C-alpha cells in the first residue's frame, strides 16, 4: 500500500483526545493499521492522556500472563500424562502384590516369599504397560492417535510412569523379605525392563494386549512351569550371577533397538 502522508503530532493528539471528527479518524485508523511509525506516535499521544494509567495496568497484566511456565508444572503434566494405569486399578494390583509378599514373609516366615515376588515382579510393569496405552486401555486413544505426541512419545511416557512406580515398590518389598538363598532383591530389574521393552516393540504388530500376554506368559511359563516346586532353582539360574544378568542386559539392548527400528509403526494404530 502506498503512503503519501503521515500523522502530524497535532492530529495524533486530537485523535488521542477523541476530538478528531469521524471521517478524518477513519482515514487515520486505516493508516495506522499499516504504518508502524504513525502507530507509535499516536500510541504515545494516547499514553499522555487519562488513558495512560489504564494502558500501564493492562501492560502489566499482559506481561504477567506471558511468563514462561515453571519446570514444576511441566513435571506435574508429565505425571498426569503417566496414564490410566498408574492412576487406576493397576496401582492397586501392584500394592496387593507387594503387600501379599510382605504378609507371606512376615507371618509364615516363608523363605519362598522373595522367590515368589521375584518370579512375579517382571510381569507387573508389563501388565501396567498393557493397561496404559492402546485403543482398549485408553479412552482417549482415538484422539491421541491423531496428535503428533500420541504415538511412541506417549507410550514411552506412560511406560516410564509405570516403571517409576513399580521398580522402587517391588525392589524395596524384596529387600524387606528374608533372603534365604533367593536371588538379590534387585535381580528382577533387568528382566522386568527387557520384558517391558519387548512388549513395546511387539505391540505395533499385535496390539498391546496380545504383546503383553505373550511376554508375560513367556516369562511365567519359563519360571513356573512345568514343576512349581523347583521355582527357586530355576529362578536362581535365570537371575543369579553375572552371565545371567549380562544376558538380560543384552536382551534389554536388543529390545530397545527393535523398538527404535519400529518407532514409526507407533503412529499408525488400528
Partner 1 sequence: MSVRVTGLCVRHRRTVALDSVDLELGAGVHGLLGPNGAGKTSLIRVLATVGRPSAGRVELLGRNSDSPRERSGIRGRLGYLPQEFGFYPAFTVREFVAYVAWLKEVPADRVPAAVERALRRVGLADRADAKMRTLSGGMIRRVGIAQAVVNDPSLLLLDEPTAGLDPEQRVEFRELLRELGTSATVVVSTHLVEDVAAACTEVTLLDEGRIAYRGTPAALTRLGETSDGPGDHPIERGYTAALRAHRARGVTDARETV
Partner 2 sequence: MGGHREKDDGALLRAVAAGDQAALADLYDRHAGWLHARLTRRCADPEVVREVLQDTFVTVWRSAAGHRGAEAGGWLWTIAARRLVDARRAQERTARGAPEAEAAAVPSAEDRVLAGLEYGDVGTALDRISPELREVLRATVVDGLTTRETARLLGIPEGTVKSRARRARTELRAALAQLNPSPLGGPA
174 makes contact with partner 1 (CB under 8 A): no
Looking at the Cβ atoms of 196 and 269, the one nearer to partner 1 is: 269
Q: What are phi and psi of 186, to 5 degrees?
A: -90, 0
Determine contact, residues 161/220, Cβ cutoff 8 Å.
Answer: no
Determine contact, residues 245/183, Cβ cutoff 8 Å.
Answer: no
214 makes contact with partner 2 (CB under 8 A): no
Task: Indicate which single residue of 120, 124, 130, 154 sits in contact with partner 1 (rule: CB under 8 A).
Answer: 154
- In the complex, least distance from residue 54 CB atom to partner 2, rounded to whole angstroms: 6
- In the complex, least distance from residue 67 CB atom to partner 1, rounded to whole angstroms: 8
Site for partner 2 in 12-71 (CB under 8 A): 15-16, 18, 22-27, 29-37, 39-40, 42-47, 51, 54-55, 57-59, 61-63, 65-68
Choose among 18, 270, 266: nearest CA to 151. 266
> Can you tell me the distance from the alpha carbon of 101 to that of 112, in angstroms, rounded to the nearest whole number?
9
The H helix count followed by the E strand count for the chain is 15, 0
> Can you tell me the distance from the alpha carbon of 237 to that of 240, in angstroms, rounded to the nearest whole number?
6
Q: What are phi and psi of 168, to 5 degrees?
A: -65, -40
- In the complex, least distance from residue 40 CB atom to partner 1, rounded to whole angstroms: 26
Looking at the Cβ atoms of 5 and 80, the one nearer to partner 1 is: 80
Looking at the Cβ atoms of 19 and 146, the one nearer to partner 1 is: 146
For 115, left (φ over 0), alpha (ψ -120 to 50), or beta? alpha
Choose among 54, 42, 36: nearest CA to 17. 42
Looking at the Cβ atoms of 77 and 108, the one nearer to partner 1 is: 77
Site for partner 1 in 208-247 (CB under 8 A): none
- In the complex, least distance from residue 84 CB atom to partner 1, rounded to whole angstroms: 7
Site for partner 1 in 51-110 (CB under 8 A): 65-69, 74, 77, 80-81, 84, 87
Choose among 140, 121, 124: nearest CA to 90. 124
Of 3-11, 143-151, 166-174, 230-238, the segment contacting partner 1 by CB under 8 A is: 143-151
| Interacting residues of 163 by C-beta distance below 8 A, sequence separation 6+ | 125, 192, 193, 196
**Interface residues toward partner 2, by CB under 8 A:** 1-5, 15-16, 18, 22-27, 29-37, 39-40, 42-47, 51, 54-55, 57-59, 61-63, 65-68
Amino acid at each position: 500500500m502506498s503512503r503519501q502522508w503521515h500523522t502530524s503530532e497535532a492530529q495524533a493528539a486530537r485523535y488521542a483526545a477523541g476530538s478528531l471528527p469521524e471521517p478524518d479518524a477513519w482515514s487515520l485508523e486505516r493508516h495506522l493499521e499499516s504504518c508502524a511509525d504513525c502507530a507509535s506516535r499516536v500510541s504515545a499521544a494516547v499514553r499522555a492522556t487519562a488513558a495512560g494509567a489504564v494502558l500501564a495496568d493492562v501492560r502489566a497484566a499482559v506481561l504477567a500472563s506471558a511468563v514462561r511456565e515453571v519446570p514444576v508444572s511441566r513435571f506435574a503434566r508429565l505425571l498426569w500424562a503417566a496414564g490410566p494405569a498408574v492412576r487406576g486399578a493397576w496401582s492397586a494390583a501392584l500394592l496387593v502384590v507387594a503387600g501379599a509378599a510382605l504378609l507371606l514373609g512376615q507371618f509364615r516366615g516363608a523363605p519362598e516369599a522373595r522367590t515368589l515376588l521375584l518370579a512375579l515382579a517382571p510381569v507387573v510393569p508389563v501388565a501396567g504397560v498393557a493397561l496404559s496405552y492402546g485403543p482398549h486401555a485408553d479412552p482417549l486413544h482415538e484422539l491421541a492417535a491423531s496428535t503428533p505426541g500420541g504415538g511412541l512419545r506417549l507410550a514411552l511416557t506412560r511406560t516410564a510412569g509405570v516403571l517409576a512406580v513399580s521398580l522402587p515398590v517391588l525392589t524395596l518389598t524384596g529387600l524387606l523379605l528374608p533372603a534365604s538363598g533367593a536371588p538379590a532383591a534387585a535381580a528382577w530389574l533387568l528382566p522386568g525392563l527387557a520384558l517391558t521393552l519387548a512388549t513395546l516393540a511387539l505391540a505395533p504388530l499385535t496390539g498391546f494386549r496380545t504383546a503383553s500376554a505373550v511376554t508375560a506368559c513367556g516369562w511365567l511359563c519359563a519360571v513356573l512351569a512345568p514343576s512349581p516346586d523347583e521355582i527357586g532353582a530355576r529362578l536362581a539360574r535365570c537371575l543369579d550371577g553375572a552371565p545371567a544378568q549380562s544376558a538380560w542386559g543384552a536382551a534389554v539392548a536388543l529390545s530397545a533397538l527393535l523398538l527404535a527400528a519400529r518407532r514409526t509403526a507407533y503412529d499408525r494404530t488400528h
